[in-house]
Amino acid sequence: MKKYWNLIQYLFYIGLILTVVGLIMDFILMPIYVRYGQAIILPDTQGMEIEEATKLLENRGFRVITKEPKFATTLEPGHVYEQTPAPLSRVKTGRRVYLTPSLEERLLTVPDIIGLSQRNAYMKIERTGFKIDSIFYDFSNKILEGAVIAQSIPANLEAKRGTPIWITVSLGPRPDNFTVPNLRGKSLVNAKQLIVKAGLKDGNISYRLEEDLIPFTIIWQSINPGIKLKERTAVDLIVSITDIDQIPDPPEIMDEL
């Protein structure tokens, strides 16, 4: 009889323990487990400071892994440059989120392009991480026509990637006089090239509506072709358009010559 009573007590305590364990599983462990794997919207931390982004993500239940920094041209050092998985995607809490910090941009060395042809200078500038902003022309008795005689940032100085550099290209030795080329009927681009090659200067450009002509055809030039000038003179032009919207920042529109 005593053994039977002991068995009942034993089974009672076993049942009590199992009941308590079940309650713990149902009301404590399972909710934690369910929340841990719940899919939520991943915050966008790009551009934030690394410390701030890490704190935000960890508070949302994510595990933050910081990767090797990368050079960034648009961010201050120590900010989030890249985030994986992508911002605003649905991911489960507890997942790893990789953050790539921004690193201060490395300065590049400006190449020496003096004496190079315009084409080779352009290629070298682009290859080294810079860009040519403007091209000017001038006479030179020392450097052949078509070669670079000046650059806006001297060689071997350091500058940021993408910094614009203007160059000056040689027109060769200064002539005794300047012959005005025939520009009528030429395209505006071609006319400007001919003006430069003749050693003259670009003048004012006016526009006239001409529906029968290809847009940007030269209708008139201020100095007649064949005229020889002693000084570098600006040549004004009137150019055809078929629509007023073709005019950049509307200058003067000519109704008649």
Tokens, residue 160? 């940021």
CA distances from 61 to 25, 37, 95, 179, 186 (A): 21, 10, 8, 77, 68
CA distances from 23 to 20, 26, 27, 28, 36 (A): 5, 5, 6, 8, 19
Report pLDDT digits (tens) over 223-242: 999 999 999 899 999 999 99
Domain with CATH 3.30.10.20 in the chain: 40-104, 108-170
Task: Please state, in angstroms and rounded to a whole number, the distance separating the CA atoms of residues 162 and 128.
Answer: 9
Task: Please state, in angstroms and rounded to a whole number, the distance separating the CA atoms of residues 229 and 156.
Answer: 40
Report pLDDT digits (tens) over 72-89: 777 888 899 899 998 988
Closest CA to 208 of 169, 256, 250, 139: 256
Burial grade of 161 (CB within 10 A; 0-12, 13-18, 19 or more): middle
Q: What is the pLDDT of residue 161?
A: 86
Domain 40-104: give its CATH code.
3.30.10.20
Please give the CATH topology (third level) of the domain spanning 108-170.
Trypsin Inhibitor V; Chain A (3.30.10)
Does the reported pTM lie above 0.85? no
